[in-house]
Structure 1
């Protein structure tokens, strides 16, 4: 007993063990839904032995938490937030050159390696075909302005969702920009049921609470796989491929383990596993979508619009205030 107590009190260096190796965990701030989190975190722990301590919330909520903790970070990784939020908060990230740089196009990673993209999400409309027959479904973003859809379209509060912010600002530009664009967006908000978290949108459509939802592409095949009457509408007036990524939080308690996760999450076999199970398009350029489930069309078959992501990122704070005003006026 005495010998065991004494040995337990020995400094780690005397035992020949590095101090950092003792912390076999990583704290991950994740904006992804539980299906993806559970899949990835279990597989990551099984392979590496590193325990994941997740903190799940909307991307906007996580970004605000990062900023509040910048003096003493409690997390190691932020994962599943938009390029806009990654760029806005990049001063809070530690540079790390992932092992997967070569397979990730330059447009999907920070030039200083402060973040790297994982997923590409097309901004789309979800339809519950049991509540709304396919023949009666909207075909375009403009169709959603019809007053008949009032209260029937689920959407996420852009203050809590990077993709929702991208959707609103994309539509401002698509609908003429300036006052003209904002006027049409205000008309759209009158038809929306605004929810606090992205997952509530596709759950609402999948469970039959709403006939339509403005969401992300993966939600359609994911819910259809589970037997829900859900399909994806690719708006005929065009859409945008929004990127989500991962970054190492500067000064986090488990930085070495965080870097292991960054390499893991963008590895080709892991991306294929994720697509098969959750239908996220990878940013990697060497994954063959035609050989994988989901039936997602290649980007060449989808009408994509030009979107000034950098410009809208720079004026994010001011724009969120404007969106807040529009949202309040629509109630």
Structure 2
């Protein structure tokens, strides 16, 4: 398999990420999607929606939101930049993998010292634990009717989506264009996948593959002798370097690398994409914070939903029109090509799917 010069790729990424103030997170966010119209004459109205009434907004303006998040740091930094640009409210971020974040939040809460106002997760099973423990408390945004609320204590602020991608510097002719290419022997030894033990998004992908193509599809991928990664970020890095040439990927991660200059091209297959919920909720501390309430409200607003859509997530709201992710158009949440594994689906399938996945790929971990 041809290799990409790693120094060239890294230089491209460095030039894009660093340099002049024009390359700030706010500027990057603006390139993804122009800011919505903001009216603060009577509260906070963005894109025509009342995100916060006058009383709430006035109370929030001098406050800071403390956010714990298990989402990717690049995506969260961009989201924070857009939120602050549209609201004037600052956010302090602590980013940890979902399991580590859960340990910290539950420990802090048990000691009566939970430092977060808002917590974003990548696995709805953790959201259920947070609800049971009282880490998440009930809260209803002004846009409750437009959301699919799984619990009174949290809602999916967006959907994490998995599809596939290839190295566009290697596959210049006859590139992969569908899920069936993952089992095409011409890509033997070139496939990258992420271990199911990394969490919810890969559980959702496995359930989609089993439900759509059957267990034999996993057999076909196993015959490819894939390289198994312990995180999506390391997988995407390897794809950019040419260590693998085709992969199942988190759309947001792969799109971020592509926009940073990596030779990566996404594929949105005709059968669709897999998806899982991205829970967001207020803590007891956050329920007392006007700024935290504004953050959660904004996350459910048209402006917030459109912005996450521009990053490669699928918005939960289906009343906001088409949101493109660069050159790509992902299926909307009400499309038959959108395959969502809900919290109930995790409860029914995750354990058995994980055992089958490990058996098919000879994985111990």
2:127 equivalent in structure 1: 86
Spell out, residue by residue over 1:144-202, the C-alpha distance to the aligned partner (whole angstroms, 9 max, x if none): 235654553333333333111211233233344xxxx3x75366356332333323333
Give the drift of 1:234: 2.8
Secondary structure of 1:95 counterpart:
coil
Paired with 1:302 and 1:248, the residues of 2 have a C-alpha distance of: 31
1:271 equivalent in structure 2: 305
Secondary structure of 1:262 counterpart:
helix
Contact 1:201 / 1:214 at 8 angstroms: preserved in 2?
Answer: no
After TM superposition, the structure 1 stretch with the greater mean CA deviation from structure 2, 155-164 or 214-223, is: 214-223
Per the alignment, do residues 193 and 65 of structure 1 end up closer, same or farther by CA in structure 2, a change over 3 Å counting? farther
Contact 1:124 / 1:233 at 8 angstroms: preserved in 2?
Answer: yes
Gaps of 5+ in 2: 1-58
1:172 equivalent in structure 2: 210
Paired with 2:241 and 2:313, the residues of 1 have a C-alpha distance of: 21
Spell out, residue by residue over 1:38-68, the C-alpha distance to the aligned partner (whole angstroms, 9 max, x if none): 2222343455565433222333443344444
Paired with 1:200 and 1:231, the residues of 2 have a C-alpha distance of: 17
1:287 equivalent in structure 2: 320
The structure 2 residue matched to 1:234, chosen from 243, 259, 268, is: 268
Per the alignment, do residues 166 and 290 of structure 1 end up closer, same or farther by CA in structure 2, a change over 3 Å counting? closer
The structure 1 residue matched to 2:149, chosen from 105, 109, 113, is: 109
Paired with 2:228 and 2:86, the residues of 1 have a C-alpha distance of: 39
Spell out, residue by residue over 1:219-261, the C-alpha distance to the aligned partner (whole angstroms, 9 max, x if none): 4544443443322223345543333231123566975543232
Secondary structure of 1:165 counterpart:
helix
The structure 2 residue matched to 1:137, chosen from 168, 176, 185, is: 176
1:29 equivalent in structure 2: 68
Paired with 1:184 and 1:30, the residues of 2 have a C-alpha distance of: 33
RMSD of aligned residue pairs (Cα, Å): 3.8
Give the drift of 1:326: 5.7
Per the alignment, do residues 77 and 228 of structure 1 end up closer, same or farther by CA in structure 2, a change over 3 Å counting? same
After TM superposition, the structure 1 stretch with the greater mean CA deviation from structure 2, 225-234 or 308-317, is: 308-317
Paired with 2:140 and 2:248, the residues of 1 have a C-alpha distance of: 34
> 1:211 aligned to 2:245?
yes
Paired with 1:239 and 1:90, the residues of 2 have a C-alpha distance of: 28
Per the alignment, do residues 291 and 200 of structure 1 end up closer, same or farther by CA in structure 2, a change over 3 Å counting? closer
Per the alignment, do residues 327 and 86 of structure 1 end up closer, same or farther by CA in structure 2, a change over 3 Å counting? farther
After TM superposition, the structure 1 stretch with the greater mean CA deviation from structure 2, 72-81 or 319-328, is: 319-328
Paired with 1:250 and 1:316, the residues of 2 have a C-alpha distance of: 30
The structure 2 residue matched to 1:200, chosen from 211, 234, 244, is: 234
The count of corresponding residues between Structure 1 and Structure 2 is 301
Secondary structure of 2:122 counterpart:
strand
Paired with 1:273 and 1:21, the residues of 2 have a C-alpha distance of: 22
Paired with 1:86 and 1:193, the residues of 2 have a C-alpha distance of: 31
